[in-house]
Amino acid sequence: MTNAVVLNNVTHKDLRVVRRHSPALNEPLNMTLALPFEFRSLQHEYPLVFIRNDTTHTYQAVALLGFEQQENLYLNDQGWDASYIPLMIERQPFLIGMQPAADNSAAHPVLLIDMDSPKVSEHDGEPLFLPHGGHSEYLQQVTDILATIRERESETQVFYDLLARYELLEPFFLDVTLDNQTKHRLTGYYTINEERLSTLPKEAIAELHQQNVLPLLYYVLASHSNFRSLIDRKQAASRG
């Protein structure tokens, strides 16, 4: 469970965060949310697919990290084995929350920290605050990441709105048999319907291009070449 509290330089003046990644410090995940504006970087390292929220009937992009629940094939005792780490991993253990204003005006964003995260310490890692109370360089970097995510929410929403309008997603599954004959099936995911995309009218393609969505679709499709390396990672893990 997340124990998220508003970060402040009085209560948390001695807090530190361990920046390194390891199985002991990172939450075990087989996927992480992928933000459209980072697709270009993600597609070099991870397979990108979509998951569906059956309650809201909406979709979200994810970078696959493994084949089984709580399996991260990019994480080992030496760190994170990729040249680019997804922003939703890099921002941990911080997140953005909304806090009501004292005068009952509109809520405003605040920086939260998960106090139950194993990355949080009073002895190890990067300090969050300077001796006089200002943000450390590390905390400023995290704040910038979260600010970017928030500032680009409308751009992200446009991406998902256009996916829905033009019905560009289709179910996706993948069967994998390892050298030891262990079988795995990835199911419940969605990807770009290439046939549908190729037959869209010119007006639709023009809109996708104008909204900078068209390249994102091709980044997702290009990322599927990373299934081969994900399988290779699984093969190596199965050999111990």
pLDDT in tens, 61-76: 999 999 999 999 999 9
Q: Name the domain boundary from 151, 185, 201.
A: 151
Asked if residue 99 is part of any domain, the answer here is yes
Looking at the fold, whether 9 and 60 belong to one and the same domain comes out as no
In which domain, by residue range, is 113 found? Answer: 1-27+92-151
Which residues is 80 bridged to in the sheet?
Answer: 75
Whether residue 239 is contained in a domain is answered as: no
Beta bridge partners of residue 58, listed in sequence order: 53
pLDDT at 156: 95
202 and 171, same structural domain? yes
Asked, for residue 86, whether it belongs to a domain, the answer is no
Hey, is 200 helix, strand or coil?
A: coil
Q: Can you name the residues that pair with 110 across neighbouring β-strands?
A: 97
- What contacts 24+ positions apart, CB below 8 Å, involve 59-63? 59/160, 59/163, 59/164, 59/169, 59/190, 60/33, 60/160, 61/33, 61/34, 61/35, 61/36, 61/220, 62/31, 62/32, 62/33, 62/34, 63/31, 63/32, 63/33, 63/34
Q: How many structural domains are present in the chain? A: 2
What is residue 1's predicted lDDT score, i.e. its pLDDT?
Answer: 60
* Domain assignment present for 238: no
Do 161 and 224 lie in a common domain? yes
Q: What's the N-to-C CA distance of the chain in angstroms?
A: 31
Helix, strand, coil abundance in the chain, percent, nearest 5: 30, 25, 40
For residue 31, the model assigns a pLDDT of 97
Of 151, 170, 188, which residue constitutes the final position of a domain? 151
In a domain, 192, yes or no: yes
**Residue 160 is encoded by which pair of tokens?**
């998902």
Alpha carbon of 51 to those of 60, 89, 149: distances in Å? 5, 18, 19
Please check whether residues 157 and 227 belong to one and the same domain: yes
pLDDT (0 to 100) of residue 148: 93
Q: Note the pLDDT tens digit of each residue in 184-207.
A: 889 999 999 999 999 999 999 999
Alpha carbons 118 and 68: distance in angstroms, whole number: 23
The yes-or-no verdict on residue 121 having pLDDT over 70 is yes
Percent of the chain with pLDDT over 90: 81
Do 195 and 164 lie in a common domain? yes
Do 104 and 209 lie in a common domain?
A: no
The model's pTM: 0.92
The answer to whether position 159 is within a domain reads yes
On whether both 67 and 145 belong to a single domain, the answer is no
Whether residue 227 sits in one domain with residue 197: yes
Model pLDDT for residues 127-174, shown as the tens digit of each residue: 999 998 899 999 999 999 999 999 999 999 999 999 999 999 999 999
Final residue belonging to a domain, choices 151, 176, 198: 151
Say if residue 138 is in the same domain as residue 50. Answer: no
- What pLDDT band is residue 240 in, cutting at 50, 70 and 90? low
What's the confidence (pLDDT) of residue 2? 81
pLDDT for the residue numbered 100: 77
Among residues 125, 117, 170, which one has the least CA distance to residue 19?
125
At 238, the pLDDT band (50, 70, 90 cuts) reads confident
Q: Count how many residues are written for the chain.
A: 240
Question: Do 184 and 68 share a structural domain?
Answer: yes
Q: Do 219 and 159 have their domain in common?
A: yes
The whole-number pLDDT of residue 24 equals: 94
Residue 7 and residue 40 share a domain = no
Instruction: Find the Cα–Cα–Cα–Cα dihedral 62, 64, 68, 71, rounded to 10°.
Output: -110
**Residue 34 pLDDT greater than 70, yes or no:** yes
